[in-house]
């Protein structure tokens, strides 16, 4: 299950809607809603997202969270042209280990990246 799929399912269930009911309101097949929730399909395009927001009557906070989950769930990513060889190695090693990372490893990676962002932000402030 993807972050988007899990959140969509949570929203749908909190509104006490079945997949068929939600699908009917959005104008899609129930199997499509199921595929979104299980992660077999990538997050939908803007027009479907807008319909989901409308049918589920999402609050502003829920809409923001939904959009964050869409971003998190993007299944394909474009690597920037101007990255170092070391960054390519990091991407390669991470790719090889996806699905096998322990929670402690993920925490270390995220904290390391946050540290780097903190340093970059400090540089921008002092300039």
pLDDT digits (tens, 9 = 90+) for 34-75: 999 999 999 999 999 999 999 999 999 999 999 999 999 987
pTM, two decimal places:
0.74
What's the distance, CA 86 to chain centroid? Answer: 26
pLDDT over 50 (residue 123): no
Report the pLDDT value the prediction gives residue 115, as an integer from 0 to 100. Answer: 86
> pLDDT tens for residues 5-45?
999 999 999 999 999 999 999 999 999 999 999 999 999 99
Strands (E) across 3-44 are located at none
Report the pLDDT value the prediction gives residue 75, as an integer from 0 to 100. Answer: 79
- Cβ-defined contacts of 20-28 (< 8 Å, 24+): 22/52, 22/55, 22/56, 25/51, 25/55, 26/51, 26/52, 26/55, 27/51
Mean pLDDT of 70-97: 91
């Amino acid at each position: 299950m993807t972050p988007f799929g899990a959140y969509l399912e949570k929203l749908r269930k909190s509104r006490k809607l079945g997949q068929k009911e939600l699908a009917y309101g959005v104008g899609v097949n129930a199997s499509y809603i199921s595929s979104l929730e299980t992660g077999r399909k990538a997050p939908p395009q803007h027009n479907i997202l807008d319909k989901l927001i409308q049918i589920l009557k999402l609050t502003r906070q829920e809409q923001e969270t939904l959009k964050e989950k869409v971003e998190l769930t993007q299944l394909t990513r474009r690597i920037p042209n101007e990255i170092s060889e070391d960054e390519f190695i990091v991407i390669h090693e991470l790719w090889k280990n996806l699905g096998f990372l322990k929670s402690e490893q993920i925490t270390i990676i995220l904290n390391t990246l946050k540290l780097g962002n903190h340093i970059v932000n400090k540089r921008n402030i002092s300039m």
